[in-house]
A = this chain, B = another copy of it.
Amino acid sequence: MLLNASPDLPAQLRDNDILHPDNNGPARNNPIAAVIISGGDIDCITGLLTLREGHAFRLYAQDFVMSVLNANQVFSVMNGDLVAREILPPASPVTLHDASGQELGLRVEAFPVPGKIPLYQEEGRDLSALVSAESVIGLSVTDDAGKTLLFIPGCAHVTPEILERAKNAEIVFFDGTLWQDREMIDAGLSQKTGARMGHISVSGECGTIAAFSALMRTRKIFIHINNTNPILCDDSEEAKKVRDSGWDVAYDGMEVTL
């Protein structure tokens, strides 16, 4: 999640250049003031390697994710003189700052959601039960006006706490990985169910649409969508069901206003 302190500036990054640690002048500045990492999976952390080198920002991540970043030397491409690394504590709201300590007018809270540990850390671990709380989080971001967005890219099921948070949020970005639990297996692509991967399905009696059906006011947007999920095809029956249920499907370049 990239946080833009100057919403009137485009958040888009030019990424075709050679980047330098001593390059942080206005000619190449960008509006990203803070980055919050939502997990330890490759798709959560790899983007850090393609941010502009030499850009100053504050990086927030859970303790175990920060340990991964610290233990993998490639991430030292984020110059320690410019990028402040700050642990995101569990279940405790944090006032966000930029690298120089200036407040951004936003608070973020990391809250536990059911899920699993990153794939590359599975080896030798007991996976008979889903690992929860400590490793998989959702993010709640609140501005000075008290408006809140939830960012939950991976989630194994919707708990009462998540539902309560969503009722009080303006926008919910939510795990839309799979349409149904055996989707990957049925397509011959994997031996894993959605549950094994730590992902609730969009459809079904225990699915996301059903779980959030009482939320009429909150804007609901599916993110983190697998390419087997038919909701990616605008003209599919499934996409129609999603829309009819009051959900949007996120797309590249989508902009939302809190």
Contact = CB atoms under 8 A, between A and B. Distances in A.
A190 to B, nearest CB: 5
Nearest to A18: B226
Interface in A36-77: 42-43, 45-46, 49-50, 53, 68, 71-74, 76-77
A53 B232 CA distance: 21
B27 A188 contact: yes
Contacts of A184: 20, 23
Contact of A20 (B14, B28, B192, B224): B192
Contacts of A74: 42, 45-46, 68, 72, 74, 120
Copies in the complex: 2
Contacts of A43: 18
Contacts of A232: 16
A104 interface: no
A73 B76 contact: no
Q: In the complex, which of the residues A18, A27, A123, A177 has the most CB atoms of chain B within 10 Å of its own CB atom?
A: A18
B120 A27 contact: no
A252 to B, nearest CB: 8
A23 B73 contact: no
18 contacts: A17-B226, A18-B197, A20-B119, A20-B184, A20-B197, A21-B119, A22-B190, A23-B189, A42-B74, A42-B77, A46-B46, A46-B74, A49-B49, A53-B119, A68-B74, A74-B74, A76-B123, A77-B119
